[in-house]
Amino acid sequence: MPTISLQRDDLEALIAGPDEKPARIPLDQLEQWLMLVKGELKGHNAETGELRIELQDSNRPDLWCCEGIARQIRIKQRGSAISYPFFKKPKGVAGKLVVAQGMDQVRPYVAACTAVGYRVTASGLTQLIQTQEKLADIFGRKRRSVSIGLYRLAPIVFPVSYDLVKPDDVRFTPLGMETMMTLREILMVHPKGVEYGGIVGGHDRLPVLRDAKGQVLSFPPIINSLEIGEVQVGDHELFVEVTGTDLSMVALTLNIFAANLADRGAVITPIDIHSPVKTSFGRRWSTPIDFGAPRTIPLKAIESALGEALGGKEVTSALKSYGYTVKSAGQKVAVQLPPYRNDLLHTVDVVEDVAISQGYARFAPVMPSQFTVGGLSRLEQMADRVRHLMVGLEFQEIISNIMGSHQDFCTRMRLDGTEWAKVVEVDNVMSLSYSCLRQWITPSLLQVEANSSRAFYPHRMFEVGEVAIPEASVDVGSRTVTMLGAVIAHAGAHFSEIHSCLDLLLYYLDRPFTLEPVEHPSFLDGRAGKIVSNGRVIGLLGELHPEVLEHWQIGVPAVALELEIDRLLEEV
Amino acid sequence: MDNLHPLESKVLLALIRQPDGPPTLDQLEASTGLEPSQLSMAVEWLLAKSLIAVHSETVAHIASLTPIGELFFEKYAPIERVLSAAREAGQTGKRLTIQDIQVKEALEPSDVSKAVGTLKKEGAILIVQGGCIESTGRNSATAEAMRSLLQELRSGQRELQSFSEPLRNVLQQHAVKRGNAREPFRIDERVTRSFVLTPAGKDVADQLSRDGVAEEVSQLTPELLKEGAWRTKRFRKYTISLRAPRIAAGKRHPYREFLDLVKLKLVSMGFQEMRGTLVETEFWNMDALFMPQFHPARDIHDVYFVKNPTHARTIAEPYLTQVTQVHEKGTGAGSTGWGYTFDAERAKRLVLRSQGTAVSARTLASGASVPGKYFSIARCFRYDQVDATHATDFFQVEGIVLGADINFRTLLGLLNLFAREVAQAKEVKFLPAYFPFTEPSVEMHVRHPKLGWMELGGAGLFRPEVTTPLGVSVPVIAWGLGLDRMAMVALGIHDIRDLFSADLEFIRTMRGSF
């Protein structure tokens, strides 16, 4: 999940809070505290004061920023949640935001507020932009579900409208450009239009945010206007909006921004949202909005999951000092998440927060006491028997990657266009070298042989490993088979040499077999055989075709054996 | 006696059989038939062991020709040439000075003056007025002696004493001495020693002659054993300090050895192995693990999609329905669910298995035992660039524990056991972690003897949204161990790709310390 960059001073100031003088926090102390946010300190630049922190929890976007990390630590220190008045009883609203008819077909939801009184500093601006990007990119899935706009408040005349317009009807100067452009031009020319245009492209009408005077604020989720939508250092009156496709995600994202700006000293004033259709918030609501609901949990559920009878008091204090609102009543607790969180799906989520708040060291490990019998699968047991026999036959074991190229598995083996060339291929190929799964082991061993002409001879090597054999009758389209592959290579390598190995191997495994000649392009004609046992083909062996050796640039004769270990498990 | 070299035995036997008194080296050479170098080696060894002693030591002077002598034999010595020049001049009536001779015969002035001095003294020449040389017609004893010495020594060296005294004198005068290397003869001292057995040597030699000498052989053969002939043989000793010739062993791959050990540990802790398939549906790979189809948590599982077929035909019921409901509304699991419309088609999409937990999900659905412990060492695929820390496919060691006694503390207890048994770690730290399918989730760090604090694995209690739809009603631990780093340390490698090396020499020489 995201790795963010922040300033140590900034973090320390936010942990101290508005009323306290910041103190230097030793890094090892900080690392301890980062456990509260599932954060890991990845780097620290002593000169610039930059900290790099990786946040693990993909359900806690509120923690993907300096403010969120500091908030979680501060709450733990003070032992109770921080209350944000604008969620509870706001003193009026800053203005109206009217959603146009038909928006539910394009990008239905919007949330907004104003933030006044925090004068934006350089490092504060960097953090605002980073949070905006991380939330839109990861939480908002590259702006598809959620995107965020920040504006200078002063020029905006309310009410603001969230309109749908024809692509050529509206023109404005987008960030990063110097001239007025239509929405269509932005989609075609502007880098952000090219990158994110797909989200709204295909609609006849596109969303724009405009104020009462018709000034364009932005073309969500693509780009802000240059005039209003470029926040600069020194600005102290901001307008924040979030648009998207999921009402609660949109609301949550605005809540996070509102809390962050409030933590930096801004006064947050809500905006009234007027929706043309009924939503789960109704037709009119104001944002930020605390849409969480209390959840009643039996104390016992928490205690049994943790394996520790903590008691109502400890559970209550643990959750309060993690930001929850808690009411304890007998054997139950009623808990509610702070408004900047929306990740309570199940009691177990509360259980983990109790444990994190108390610290995992609070819980003494106990050995599971129930008796179970251990063992290997029959297939693994057979694979191990085969491996041990091959070692006794003086073969060196090899481990190869299962993923490789068609070139190695088929073309070099002279298999193109034959039934032997069926392989599981990857759709989203990253590199041609790793584009399919091997259907047999021999190419993996020839890869080793091709790399090892300087290792003293003879070369005897084997691999017992998985391969994928396409098979239409199987539900996932292929069988995963555990296969033995063996190759002998030296100046006098000969069919009978590998034949003797097979003979002895299957003798010890008590598996009678016959060899039937096979025309296989990888082997010399007349020097290759199918291994048939109990009426089924269980493998093949032979002298590798000189052209195969040439393809691999191997300079000595080589013989190969391939045997399906799964088949050895079948009853004879 | 065991330590006698066959050469030594030969010399000892020759000495005991010597009827003509203490033999010299030459005599021993004849009686033993040994090469001079072998003989002198054996004699020195026996002297060092005090089995023989020097009986007498005589010094002989041996005369021989030098290269100059060889030259004089071919082209005559200066004295012969001066005399013959003088005689020639006397016949032709020419006047001949010393300088003339020097120029004509291309001789060194010192050689000429020495020859002239000797000839004049012997009366073979006269120095007349003007420094001219005249032959008297008389012979020069020195010149004749020189010629016969050159002739005799040319056929081989001789003892100085074997020459008559006049010849001996000439030889000594013209022998190489310090400060004058330009002489035709040389006289060397030769020490001749004769040897006798010491009393100890006699005992050994007697024993040898009684028991006979074992013949030396290098290889014990079936014939030697069959006939008992090995008893009279002597086995050549080897220089065992030399490096052994290289051979290749049949052996397990060191990484596989490591994984076998892990496997053994897990089985010994009561875990049953489970296996899965390389190709999986998104359903078992993710949906069954309560990873919502829209959620960013799926971003960390960037997966490879299969080209053909793209989708499985069906997903087994009742799991599809139950998982769908738990995603949408949390039905049956006491959850709110994710609140979105589940796409059953997407659930059928085929992918390369990206996490071993898929195998656990299948096990849960196929009637896992309660209590039960399961593990798999499953090959998984991630959509990552291959580099020193990312392999295209890799082993994940994962598993589950089902039981009525499972809770957060027993989870920590199990992880403690892993730390002790698998990583031999005494110190363990538990950190809060995030996995989409567990809550609470833990990251286990252990203090590794070589690496210091390192992450050993992740674990947690499966969310009820995972277990309930699969028909499991007891708590379940899901755990995974990240063992590659430990394996790399044990194998002394630094690049994860080396675990799957294609270099036979590297694989043959790689060894683990675990």
Q: Strands, E, within A225-281: which ranges?
A: 237-244, 267-279
Structure tokens at A220: 């969500």
Predicted confidence band at A196 (pLDDT cuts at 50, 70, 90)?
A: very high
Contact between chains at A366 and B304 (C-beta distance less than 8 A): no
CB proximity B398 to A under 8 Å = no
CB contact under 8 A, B430 and A379: no
- State the pLDDT at residue A118: 94
pLDDT higher than 60, residue A279 = yes
**Strongest mean pLDDT among B30-34, B35-39, B233-237, B272-276:** B272-276
Residues B430, A360: C-beta atoms closer than 8 Å: yes
Contact A306 B338 (CB under 8 A): no
Confidence class for position A107, pLDDT limits 50, 70, 90:
very high
**CA-based radius of gyration for chain B:** 51
Amino acid in the structure at residue B59: V
Q: In what order do the strands lie in the sheet with B452-462?
A: B272-273, B372-381, B393-402, B476-481, B452-462, B438-448, B428-432
pLDDT at B414: 95
Would you give the distance in Å from CA B379 to the centre of its chain? 37
Which residues of chain B are within 8 Å of residue A247 when distances are taken between CB atoms?
none
pLDDT mean over A254-272: 96
Disruptive mutation site among B286, B331, B401, B407 for chain A (greatest number of A CBs within 10 Å):
B407
Angle at A528 between CA A525 and CA A530, to 5 degrees: 135
| Angle (deg, nearest 10), helices B6-16 and B199-211 | 100
Predicted confidence at residue A353, as pLDDT, reads 97
Query: In chain A, which residue's Cα lies nearest the Cα of B269?
Result: A374
Query: Best residue in A31, A41, A58, A457 to probe B by mutation, most B CBs within 10 Å?
Result: A58
**DSSP-assigned letter for residue A137:** I
Give yes or no for a contact between A45 and A105, defined as CB atoms under 8 angstroms apart. no
**Nearest-by-CA chain A residue for B394:** A401
Of A404-408, B51-55, B308-312, B373-377, where does mean pLDDT reach its minimum?
B51-55
Counting beta carbons within 10 angstroms of the beta carbon of residue B512, is it exposed (0 to 12), middle (13 to 18) or buried (19 or more)? middle
Nearest-angstrom CA–CA distance, A71 and A484: 57
Q: Which of A361, A373, A396 sits opposite B504 (nearest CB)?
A: A396
- Amino acid identity, position B509: T
Interchain pair A356, B440: CB under 8 A? yes
C-alpha B484/C-alpha B391 separation (Å) is 11
Give residue A345's pLDDT band: very low, low, confident or very high (50, 70, 90): very high
Phi, psi of B135 (to 5 degrees): -80, 140
Q: Does B420 touch chain A if contact means CB atoms closer than 8 Å?
A: no
| Nearest by Cα to A150 from A124, A170, A168, A179 | A124
- Which among B251, B270, B379 is the nearest to A397, CB-wise? B251
Contact between A240 and A106 (Cβ < 8 Å): no
Q: pLDDT digit string (tens) for A446-478?
A: 999 999 999 999 999 999 999 999 999 999 999
What domains does chain B contain, in order, with CATH numbers?
A: 6-55+194-234 (1.10.10.10), 67-183 (1.10.10.10), 255-509 (3.30.930.10)
- Which segments within A352-458 are labelled E, that is strand? 396-397, 403-404, 436-437
Binary contact (B465, A346; C-beta < 8 A): yes
Say whether A547 sits in a helix, a strand or coil.
helix
Residue predicted with more confidence, A121 or B391: A121
Decide if B272 touches A, using CB distance below 8 A. yes
Q: For chain A, which domains are there?
A: 3-78 (3.30.56.10), 85-287 (3.50.40.10), 295-360 (3.30.56.10), 378-568 (3.30.930.10)
Specify the residue for token string 């190229």.
A405
Asked if A377 and B275 come within 8 Å (Cβ–Cβ), the reply is yes
What residues of chain B lie within 8 A of the CB of A445, using their CB? none
* Contact criterion met (CB below 8 Å) for B479 and B398: yes
What DSSP string describes B234-252? EEPPP-TTSPPPP----B-
Comparing CB atoms, the residue among A380, A403, A479 nearest residue B381 is A403
Residue A207 and residue A130 in contact, taking contact as beta carbons nearer than 8 Å: no
Confidence (pLDDT) at A430 = 85
**What residues of chain B lie within 8 A of the CB of A145, using their CB?**
294
Q: Is B275 on the interface with A (CB under 8 A)?
A: yes
Confidence of residue A498 (pLDDT cuts 50, 70, 90): very high
Residues 6+ apart with CB under 8 A from B49: B8
pLDDT at B297 over 60: no
Cα separation, B508 vs A458, whole angstroms: 12
The yes-or-no verdict on residue A439 having pLDDT over 90 is: yes
Dihedral angle over CA of A96, A100, A101, A106, nearest 10? -130
DSSP state, B335?
S
Tell me the nearest-neighbour CA distance from B441 into chain A, angstroms.
Answer: 8
- % pLDDT > 90, chain A: 92
Which residues in chain B have their CB less than 8 angstroms from residue A431's CB?
386
- Note the pLDDT tens digit of each residue in A372-392: 999 999 999 999 999 999 999
**Could you tell me which of A478, A384, A498, A372 has the C-alpha nearest to residue A425?**
A478
Both structure tokens of B351: 């992918």
Token pair for residue A358? 């108390």
What integer best gives the mean pLDDT of chain B? 88
Interface test with B, best of A366, A490, A552 (most B CBs within 10 A): A366
Residue B206, CA atoms < 13 Å, CB-side half-sphere: 7
A-chain CB neighbours of B336 within 8 Å are 344-346
What is the C-alpha separation between B461 and A33, in angstroms, rounded?
23
Angstroms from B423 CA to nearest CA on chain A = 17
Smallest CA–CA distance, residue B395 to chain A, in Å, is: 10
Q: Quick check: B252 and A305 CB within 8 A?
A: no
Task: Tell me if B504 and A455 make a contact (CB, 8 A cut-off).
Answer: yes
Which candidate from B279, B442, B499 shows the least CB-CB separation from A468? B279
User: What are A86-105's pLDDT values in tens digits?
Assistant: 998 767 889 999 999 999 99
User: A374–B412: do the CB atoms touch at under 8 Å?
Assistant: no
For residues A254-282, give the mean pLDDT.
Answer: 95
Among chain A residues, the shortest Cα distance to B401 is held by A368
Residue B299 banded pLDDT, cuts 50, 70, 90: low
pLDDT at B296: 61
Number of Cβ within a 10 Å radius of residue B462: 29
Q: Which of residues 8-27 of B touch A (CB under 8 A)?
A: none
Q: What percent of chain A has pLDDT over 70?
A: 100
pLDDT band for position B1 (cuts 50, 70, 90): low
Contact A355 B372 (CB under 8 A): no
Kindly determine whether residue A428 and residue B385, on different chains, have CB atoms separated by under 8 Å.
no
CA distance B360 to chain A (A): 14
Find out whether the peptide bond into B23 is cis, omega within 30 degrees of 0: no
Distance from CA of A138 to the nearest CA of B (A): 6
Q: Do A367 and B304 touch (CB under 8 A)?
A: no
Size of interface A-B (CB pairs under 8 A): 278
**Considering only CB atoms, which chain A residues are within 8 Å of B281?**
476
What would the pLDDT profile of B107-136 be if each residue is shown by its tens digit?
888 888 888 888 888 888 888 877 788 888
Mean pLDDT, residues B409-422: 94
Kind and range of the H or E run holding B75? helix B67-75
- What does the pLDDT read at residue B27? 86
| H helix count then E strand count, chain A | 17, 27
What CA–CA distance (Å, rounded) separates B486 from B393? 18
Cβ neighbours of A59 in B, within 8 Å: 297, 434
A2-36 burial, b at 16+ Cβ within 10 Å, e below that, comes to: bebbbbbebbbbbbbeeeeeeeebeeeebeebbbb
Which chain A residues are Cβ-neighbours of B299 within 8 angstroms?
A: 58, 138
**Rounded to a whole number, what is the distance in Å from the CA of A81 to chain B's nearest CA?**
21
From the list A117, A39, A25, the residue with the least C-alpha distance to A72 is A39
- Contact check, Cβ <8 Å, A374/B268: yes
A401 has pLDDT over 70 = yes
pLDDT reported for residue B266: 96
B165-189 per-position pLDDT tens digit: 888 888 888 888 776 777 888 888 8
Mutate: best of B257, B277, B349, B501, partner A, most A CBs <10 A: B277
Q: Do A346 and B507 touch (CB under 8 A)?
A: no
Q: What value does the mean pLDDT take over residues A519-545?
A: 96
Q: How far is CA A103 from CA A146, A148, A150, B387, in A?
A: 15, 17, 21, 46
* A contacts of B458 (beta carbons < 8 Å): none
- pLDDT over 60 at B499, yes or no: yes
- The shortest C-alpha distance from A238 to chain B (Å) reads 29
For A507, residues 6+ apart whose C-beta sits below 8 A from its C-beta are none
CA distances, A72 to each of A14, A34, A35, A468, B77 (Å): 10, 9, 10, 48, 117
Model confidence band, residue B9 (pLDDT cutoffs 50, 70, 90): confident
> Environment class of residue B279 by beta-carbon count within 10 Å: exposed (0-12), middle (13-18) or buried (19+)?
buried
Mean pLDDT score across all residues of chain A: 95
A104 phi/psi in degrees, rounded to 5: -60, -20
ipTM (interface predicted TM): 0.92
A143-191 residue pLDDT tens: 999 999 999 999 999 999 999 999 999 999 999 999 999 999 999 999 9
Split at pLDDT 50, 70, 90, the class of B86 is confident
Can you tell me the mean pLDDT for B319-338?
95
pLDDT of residue A1 exceeding 80, the answer is no
Would you state the pLDDT for residue A160? 96
CB spacing of A455 vs B505 below 8 angstroms: yes
How far is the CA of B214 from the CAs of B28, B121, B226, in angstroms? 20, 69, 17
In 3D space, the residue among A286, A268, A284 whose CA is nearest the CA of residue A276 turns out to be: A284
Beta-carbon separation of A368 and B401 below 8 A: yes
pLDDT band per the 50, 70, 90 thresholds, residue B301: low
| DSSP one-letter code for A100 | P
What local confidence, expressed as pLDDT, does residue B2 receive?
55
CA A321/CA A81 separation, integer angstroms: 7
Q: pLDDT tens for residues B187-223?
A: 888 888 889 899 988 888 888 888 776 667 778 999 9
**Contact between A434 and B392 using a beta-carbon 8 Å cutoff:** yes
